[in-house]
Amino acid sequence: MIRIRIIALAVCFMLTMLVLPGCGFKDIDKRFFVVSAGIDRTDNPNKPYRVTLRLAIPSPKTEPGASKSQIETIETETIAEGIRLLKAHVDKELDFGHCKVFVLGESLVRSDYAEALTWMMRRRDVQSVADVAIGRPSAHDVLYAEPPSERYPGNTLFLSFGTQGTDSPFTVQQFIFDFERRYMERGLDPILPIIKRAQMTYMISKVAFLDKKQVKLTLTSEESQQFNQLSFRFIKSSLQADYKGKKIVAVVSSINRHYRIVERNGQATIKMKVRIKCVLEQAPRDLYNVSWSPIEKTLGDQYSAKAEALFIKIRDAQVDPYGFGLRYRATHIGSDATWNRWMKLYPEAKFEVTTNVHLDGTGLIK
């Protein structure tokens, strides 16, 4: 009897082993890692999308200029179908798990970017912490650049954002999850940095503001820096002012700001107070022994004037990247009537910016 039970258990165990699935994850040498992807809008109505992928080729060298990659591009009716068609161009499985940068072509964001964002959010192997940017003149041209200093495929673009590489005051970082949040949230609009190809490298010094469909405004480099300061309190930046006919530049060591929305007689006024601590980086000599109050006042007044002009420019473009509308909704009754009221207030809103600048020193010389 015991022998029969042992045989029965062995048979059941063998039958169970037959129905167990194997590992569907392919070996690393049978996969192509996508390190960056680009999506452009074409002029062909039957194939409106051009999908470009930069695929990493493993290399034993890690010295500058040793990165190897393969570019694949295709025009297709849908983004998802284009990815599947690109599989016929390569001999390995495409893996988006290491794709750190998604570039949207300027033609795409000037028409309608919603479908591209939806595809990025739905695909399960796309990381929500990947960066999103605008490619100028196109995402295809940006991905074809191969910087001579690049050690790993796609590493230059990745280091251009965040704090692991350069800390540029003109660069704004936008993750996929934050892009989606700004797209869905009422009272907060998306922002995207602009990547411009400069021969075989990149230049990222401008930011674009979008509504829920397309680009509405592109800032200059100086305006992008000020937006970075007021929105993200970016300290590795500078202030500029004209003082007695000469240029003064100060490096920011600390910046804080807070604001409130005052509503009176159907008029909304956004009052913002900014406090900045800085050190002179470029200025005339012999400033150490004179009073710094006139210099601080000049820096503060000119910074406030530029900030107010920037807010008005953003308001007239009918976008709200700072989230003034979200603050208004959060401090009032959460209803559609509140949102409709803000939609009437914002186009005529006024801005009052007061900046208090404190100089900590004149640098290493007097």
Do 70 and 205 fall into the same domain? yes
Phi-psi region of 66 (alpha: psi -120 to 50; beta: other; left: phi over 0): alpha
> Given a cut of 60, is residue 80 above it in pLDDT?
yes
* Same-domain status, 54 and 113: yes
What is the structure's pLDDT at 288? 78
Are 211 and 271 in the same domain? no
Say which residues have a Cβ less than 8 Å from residue 80's Cβ, sequence separation at least 6: 119, 123
Same domain, 359 and 260: yes
Residue 105 lies inside a defined structural domain of this protein = yes
Give the model's pLDDT for residue 274: 97
In a domain, 293, yes or no: yes
**237 & 109 share domain:** no
Q: What pLDDT digit, counting tens, does each position of 138-166 carry?
A: 999 999 888 887 777 878 888 888 767 78
Q: Please give the pLDDT value at position 320.
A: 97
Quick one: pLDDT at residue 59? 66
Q: Of the ranges 141-150, 202-211, 250-259, which one carries the lowest mean pLDDT score?
A: 141-150
DSSP E strands in 83-200: the ranges are 93-95, 101-105, 131-136, 191-198
Among residues 218, 253, 274, which one ends one of the domains?
Answer: 218
Boundaries of domain holding 37: 27-218
3-class secondary-structure state, position 222:
helix
**Residue 2 placed within a domain:** no
- Taking Cα atoms as reference points, which of 75, 16, 85 lies closest to residue 48? 75
pLDDT at 175 over 90: yes
The DSSP annotation for 110-131 comes to: TT--HHHHHHHHH-TTS-TT-E
304 found inside a domain: yes
Backbone angles phi, psi at 279, to 5 degrees: -130, 135
Query: Is 225 within a domain?
Result: no
Phi, psi at residue 278, to the nearest 5°? Answer: -150, 170
User: Which amino acid appears at position 112 of this protein?
Assistant: D
Q: Which among 355, 365, 170 has a CA at the least distance from the CA of 281? A: 365
Instruction: Kindly report whether the peptide bond that precedes residue 169 is cis, defined as omega within 30 degrees of 0.
Output: no
User: What is the pTM (predicted TM-score) of this model?
Assistant: 0.88
Matching residue, tokens 């007061």 = 354
